[in-house]
Amino acid sequence: MNSPKTGKKERPHSQEIFRRATDVLVGGVNSPVRAFRAVGGDPIVVDRASGARLWDADENEYIDFVCSWGALILGHAHPKVVQAIADQARRGTSYGMPTELEVELASRIRKALPSCEKVRFVSSGTEATMSAVRLARAATQRDLIIKFDGCYHGHSDSFLSEAGSGLATLGIAACPGVPQALASLTLNTPYNDAAAVEKLFEQNRGKVSAVIVEPVAANMGLVPPSPGFLESLRELTTRHGALLIFDEVITGFRLCYGGAQTLSGIKPDLTTLGKIIGGGLPVAAYGGRKDLMDRVAPLGPVYQAGTLSGNPLAMSAGISSLDLLAAPGFYESLEARAKRLGDGIIGALRETGAQATAARVGSLLTLFFSPGAVTDYAAAKKCDTKRFATFFRGMLARGIFIAPSQFEAMFVSSAHADDDIDRTIAACRESLVAASE
């Protein structure tokens, strides 16, 4: 329903549902950024979704560029993925025992990412990164890890300092409840600054177990790696006897059939995956060299387990999704869609003279309300978040749903048609003008 006077989408039923949610859910949500605290107003309450669109509880329609935070590269409710889930559901939804489906999905991952000689499935990206770091510490018998300001690796204790994503959105640099003794084992340094990483290694000789990095940062907004940065991390970790962990929860199967490591030619020791490999269901994984992964129970002493790990519904959805992504021309077509959107946004910035800049890597995009390029978290934090909030509300009123945070990315899916892209560019132009007034 649209207001005849303002064009703003009215959401009385959604608001009533959210009011009830605040009584029984913390903040009315199950993940902080969904609460719209950074952009103002009540969140949309989704009723259903299909393809590139979703509908709220008041029947308002939106073109969706959140796509379940990047998990839905095929769009919502792809018929073949839905059919795979339905077929498996009739055979059972959870066994808590091995299935051939686990073997099939792991084999596809290993073929696409040769660095993952063995894989362990878990249920969330947080589980995957937490487990990878535990394994790295055990393998090296060292305690320290190096992570980068603004890179988000989930909400386990080791990562809740100077992190991006929801922490950046809420302006939280460190999290209460994390013991200082544990926080001191995480060394933070600026993204894209290889010299700073080298300095940390020199200051902590023989103590660093691993460097964990988003090979294309996407949780402080989209920030590509500078030329040579990832290569430097590979060289430094090898030289100092530490492990290199690529967090490809977002980039895995997003930029190509494989990961950022496929495009860069850099082989990490361990990789974490999530989102796309589950086809919209809760799945993540960590994998790496055989000698490292064989340290995980039951073969080794590094314990990790999960009742729903390798869940057959999720495995079926993942297999179906990866089979569709492997089709010839899939990523070329996706790149063309994303380029059309990215070029259109840049054109809108030029036409309106807005003090903003756009970044794009494949089907990941961010519009930063910053006059200059954003290359690290310090630059991202200088963005005008109030103007972003105005822009966000303008896009939402025009039927375009983007992430309710300056520090997240837009995700283009194969379900977005040219008309969707054109309509989004037009809405962007109008919303930029409104945000500048």
Catalytic residues: 152, 247, 275
**For 294-410, where are the alpha helices, taking DSSP H only?**
312-325, 330-352, 377-380, 385-397
Among 85, 96, 34, CA closest to 280: 85
CA distances from 174 to 97, 188, 197, 266, 385 (A): 38, 12, 21, 31, 20
Q: Would you state the torsion angle of the CA atoms of residues 48, 335, 118, 214, taken in this order, to the nearest 10 degrees? A: -90
Amino acid at 328: P
Q: What residues are paired with 144 via a beta bridge?
A: 208
Close Cβ partners of 124 (under 8 Å, ≥ 6 residues apart): 154, 274, 282, 284
Closest CA to 74 of 111, 96, 49, 47: 49
Q: Which residues contact 100 (CB under 8 A, 6 or more apart)?
A: none
Structure tokens at 125: 């990206």
Among residues 95, 122, 126, 72, the alpha carbon closest in space to that of 317 is found at 72
Q: Which residues contact 135 (CB under 8 A, 6 or more apart)?
A: 270, 286, 288, 292, 293, 295, 296, 302
Supply 59's token pair. Answer: 């029947």
Could you give phi then psi for residue 399, rounded to 5 degrees? Answer: 85, 25
